[in-house]
Amino acid sequence: MYKQLSSGVKISITRSISTSFESYLASIGWDEEQFSIEDFVASWQKYFTESAAWFDKVPQEVLESTEFHEEIAKKIDEVIAKILNEEPTEKQIESIEEMQKQLGTNYTYGCKAEAAYVEQLLKEKLN
């Protein structure tokens, strides 16, 4: 069922997962011990029902389909894996290292999205 959706809707679904995942992780300070897949899915559902353009474009019978839910669960896994495996950029690493020297901090980060979170956190501390 997912594969039958237009490419625009599929891109929008992927974007909503990414946005929600990164937002959820920021809300828990990227603390792995606080992570709950159930809480993330709940926040994603809230996001797509209130903010995502794709939700109104998918027929109700598709939204209620078990097959669609299984395909979406796989898509969520794929998107999360992609986010967590994307390396921080050299620019991010340099920026974070410089700010950490100034602030005397030692934040760690394992992926590009987490580096963006840490970079923003450090910028806020500097201001």
Write the DSSP string, 64-117: T-HHHHHHHHHHHHHHHHHHHHSPPPHHHHHHHHHHHHHHT------SHHHHHH
Q: What is the pLDDT of residue 116?
A: 97
53 — pLDDT class (breaks 50, 70, 90)? confident
Give the pLDDT confidence of 2-33 residue by residue, as tens digits.
Answer: 889 999 999 999 999 999 999 999 999 999 99
98 — pLDDT class (breaks 50, 70, 90)? very high
pTM for this one? 0.90
